[in-house]
Chain A
């Protein structure tokens, strides 16, 4: 990456001094981060550190008490969730949030919602193959089929997602987020509940999403091997406070981070 591009990229997504309190508890305390375009940025930290709360603020599900969230030079703090979706930010949840009574295909098509133009009348009456509504439908279906191929979801295409295995549901949710054609993708513990083989596939797919689709990824993940493997930068937080930021090796060797993960004990030779 040449320096000029970096300059442009550094304005892609920024969080500035974000603070969220629940009652007296500071769930997120003065967190700032800066994500370059087309990079993978991970947020790590013990359970309850406030990682998901940051995501919820980015999404507009929570309104932060103070701080700014800037996406492509435009402040999005406090916007309604659907407006943020329209700006091109998609996400997956830690505890899957799918439309359980719909099939995989229908879930993914719903991800295309913001790109659909067909009105009530033409939508309910397209009987001709060549009609505008039909053409639009075909276009969106092609897009969704590509995602189904990418994530190997062919066998689940026409099944109700409520009955699918957990790992597959996670992929459907990832697929739905991709169907939105996001520029920024928030992944909240995508590998939770997956076995090591599935995790391996997931790592490839996330890299594909970054490289081939050019999506910038903000990742919350507990699997350290995965985080160290795919992240361009990592932010570690504990009790809502940032405790270390940098490239994977920096964070890995940061004494504060080690303390948060391993406790107060004197570092021994075994760690590093």
Chain B
């Protein structure tokens, strides 16, 4: 029982982690919690669905198509909405993200309707392997693996590539970055594209276990955001760990105590963490010497 709960917790956790990562990547550069993240991922998932259904595209092609769409959508939203904001403060930026969240939600409802679709993911949730007392579906394994691979790629990207490092620099001090020859506007677009792309992966992995409709990302987004807050909005590693922790705790609580209060406990923990360590569990601190 415990092992089973742990495993499914990890699977949900990895999805939360992806969403949290997507949010944190944007938060660190644009300094706004992007509440449109979920809808960006949802619409990208629908694009994958349409590509898959409308013609004979293989899953791989549809998947790549959706990723390209997601990246373009992210860059587009940054360019059209965020960049146009003149001397924005946090509140107006949040309102902008809520604005395009609603636009995207409306667009998806109009284009695909409220019907629940079925994204035919090539890996089944019903083929399972036994792992002692627990079972692990192929989809679980795929989710865990894809998430880990994606995180590893992100790690390499931020650690070693010129663009990744320029992104870090822009996050820490945009003016200094510009002075050192970094095109910060372009970096912002790339940031949004990357974040949207990660969200899209989460959406596509989520669609087979949830149902694909415009509400697909509603709860996962809140959980992902909560994970990011839990781990620390300024730390990529923290956000990812926050996702896993939230997934596991939530699942254990659901299994042992009460299924109805599963979500409540998740958000209860967030409140607790925010009271005790407001910047998140894993956010780095240093005391500035005066």
Query: Which A residues fall within an 8 A CB radius of B?
Result: 59, 61, 80-82, 85-86, 90-91, 93, 97-102, 106, 109-111, 113-114, 116, 118-120, 123-126, 160, 162-163, 165, 176, 180
Contacts and interface: CB of A to CB of B under 8 A. Distances in A.
A160 B289 CA distance: 12
Interface in B243-290: 284, 286-289
B162 A99 contact: no
Contacts of A120: 157, 161-164
Contacts of B163: 120
A110 B180 contact: yes
Contacts, number: 90
B172 interface: yes
Interface stretch (B43-51, B98-106, B130-138, B181-189): B181-189
A102 B181 contact: no
B181 A82 contact: yes
A231 to B, nearest CB: 24
B179 A99 contact: no
Q: Counting chain A CB atoms within 10 Å of each CB, which of B161, B163, B169 scores highest?
A: B161
Contact of A114 (B165, B181, B284): B181
Nearest to A59: B179
13 contacts: A80-B178, A82-B182, A85-B178, A86-B181, A91-B179, A98-B173, A99-B169, A111-B180, A113-B166, A120-B164, A124-B161, A160-B286, A163-B289
A113 B180 contact: yes
B168 interface: yes
B173 A123 contact: no
Contacts of A61: 175, 178-179
Contact of A90 (B162, B164, B179): B179
Contact of A163 (B156, B176, B181, B286): B286
Interface string B180-212: 111110000000000000000000000000000
Given A98-B173, A102-B172, A162-B288, A123 B181 contact: no
A116 B164 CA distance: 13
Given A123-B162, A165-B289, A100 B173 contact: yes
Contacts of B181: 82, 85-86, 113-114, 180
A251 to B, nearest CB: 29
Contacts of A98: 173, 176
Nearest to B187: A82
B161 A100 contact: no
B160 interface: yes
Contacts of B165: 106, 109-110, 113
A89 to B, nearest CB: 9
A163 B179 contact: no
Contacts of A110: 165, 169, 177, 180
Nearest to A99: B172
A91 B180 CA distance: 9
B182 A163 contact: no
Nearest to B174: A97
B47 to A, nearest CB: 24
B180 A101 contact: no
Q: Counting chain B CB atoms within 10 Å of each CB, which of A85, A124, A125 scores highest?
A: A124
